[in-house]
Structures are given as C-alpha cells and as structure tokens.
Amino acid sequence: MSNQRVVELPVLDEPVVPCCPPLTERPLTAEEAERTAAMFKALGDPVRLRLFSLVASHAGGEACVCDISDVGVSQPTVSHHLKKLKDAGLLSSERRGTWVYYRVEPGVLAAMGQLLGAAAR
Amino acid sequence: MSNQRVVELPVLDEPVVPCCPPLTERPLTAEEAERTAAMFKALGDPVRLRLFSLVASHAGGEACVCDISDVGVSQPTVSHHLKKLKDAGLLSSERRGTWVYYRVEPGVLAAMGQLLGAAAR
C-alpha cells in the first residue's frame, strides 16, 4: 500500500463521498455496504425525506429551521432530523447569526443517483 | 403542480414506481415521502444493500438464495431480507422449481436515481 495515495480527510463538515461502483458491476463488500447503507437509512424516514426535499427545493438551495414550519413535527425534532441528515453526509451546515443553514451536498447525491441509476440499465 | 403527471399504479406484484418529481423541484408531500422513504429504508440496512448488489450484479441479472452464501448470515435471514427488498418494490421474484429467483426492478431504480441525481444539479 502506498501511503502517498492515502489521504486522511477530516470527518466533520466535509462532503462524504460514497465509495462504490455501480451496483451492477460487482457485489459491495461489507465495508462499502456499511458506509453506503447509512446514507440510504437517513433518507428512509418519511419526515427526514420530506425535510431533505424541503432543503433541496428551497430558494437559494439552503434552509434553516426557521424556514420550516409545516411538516407536523416540533422545531427540536426538525433540528434533530437535519442533524441526522448532516451526520450521514447528505447535508452540510453553516451557522450564520442565530440560525444554522443547511444545504444539500451535491456530489454525494450525484454519486448515489449513479449507483442506483447504473443498476437499472 | 400538474396533475397530468400523477399516475395511480397497482400496488401488488407490480413494479412500484416512485411518485415524485426531482427533490429540487418542490418539497415532497407527506404521502409521497411515505412511499419513497420505504424504498430508501429497504436499502438502509448493510446486509440488505449487499444482497441487493449481489442480485444486481449476478450473471443474468437474477439470483436465488442458492446463489448467495458469503454474506455472513443464515439462508433464512437472506430469504427474509430478499422478501423485504421485494416488498419495497426493489426486487421482483419468480418461483422456478425449488427456488425463488429475484431480479432488480429496473424502472424503480432509474426513477430513484433520477430523484437523487436531479437534486444534485
């Protein structure tokens, strides 16, 4: 193994890029599946998926808890779910004044889309 | 929103086609999120995701439990997970003799990929 090719990346506040080839190419290893399943799991909750779509479709491509009021759960619950989406590498966040603003991580989604889309060919 | 783009689809043993526009277009409704989250949830388990990739990448595009031996769980557990993937509309199945063969539902995956990929643009 060449150490020159191994780059240690900061874990927090960096895009988490999926590891894996299209699903038709070869079976995922246990480790690859572990990493990728976490992203699918984050989108596997209806409230989180709705919140995710709210952020993704919000003007300017970002939203804070202050922009979200109609999903039928309390503001602390919204914050909790947004943090889970961030922890899964699907959203990034930036604090500005009182609020934390979330935006979609484009690279990760494109890679997930490719993972799935390629499997459908 | 145009109602002309909404199609009611049969529920049982038919391909389950996601209902929804790209995530950047507008927030999902509660009902749309409920339907789509079930698919992401099915892929949100590492063993299920591995099994899914095994089926997707298997010769001929299909596999039965008899083809799967190296995921570290028992055959009944494999069957249980394959059924969950089928229930979520991600796999279809056909019994031939002793075995049930599973294959990936192409349309659904393409649609999921589009849902995500489009959000990343």
Can you tell me the mean pLDDT for A93-109?
89
pLDDT at A112: 81
pLDDT band at residue B24, thresholds of 50, 70 and 90?
A: confident
How much is the pTM?
A: 0.79
Can you tell me the mean pLDDT for B37-64?
93
**Test the A interface: residue of B70, B116, B121 with most A CBs within 10 Å:** B116
Taking an 8 Å cut-off on Cβ atoms, the answer to whether A43 and B44 are in contact is yes
Question: Does the model's ipTM exceed the 0.85 cut?
Answer: no
Angstrom distance (rounded) from CA A54 to CA B8: 24
Taking an 8 Å cut-off on Cβ atoms, the answer to whether A72 and B46 are in contact is no
Higher pLDDT, B117 or A4: B117
Measured at the CA of A35, the angle between CA A91 and CA B42, to 5 degrees, comes to 85
Residue B20 has pLDDT above 90, yes or no: no
Can you tell me the mean pLDDT for A45-55?
95
pLDDT at A93: 95
Distance from CA of A98 to the nearest CA of B (A): 24
pLDDT at A10: 40
**Test the A interface: residue of B1, B17, B28, B47 with most A CBs within 10 Å:** B28
pLDDT at A18: 54
pLDDT band at residue A21, thresholds of 50, 70 and 90?
A: confident
User: Which residues on chain A are in Cβ contact (under 8 Å) with B121?
Assistant: 106
Higher pLDDT, A13 or B107: B107
Q: Are A59 and B93 in contact (CB under 8 A)?
A: no
Can you tell me the mean pLDDT for B39-64?
94
Taking an 8 Å cut-off on Cβ atoms, the answer to whether A43 and B47 are in contact is no
User: Which residues on chain A are in Cβ contact (under 8 Å) with B117?
Assistant: 109-110, 113-114, 117
Taking an 8 Å cut-off on Cβ atoms, the answer to whether B45 and A45 are in contact is no
Q: Which residues contact A40 (CB under 8 A, 6 or more apart)?
A: A112, B40, B41, B43, B44, B49
Choose among A25, A34, A46: nearest Cβ to B37: A46
User: Which residues on chain B are in Cβ contact (under 8 Å) with A38?
Assistant: 44
- pLDDT per residue over B71-109, tens digit each? 889 989 999 999 999 999 999 999 999 999 999 987 877
DSSP 8-state symbol, B101: E
What average pLDDT is seen over chain B?
A: 81
E strands within chain B? Answer: 62-64, 91-96, 99-104
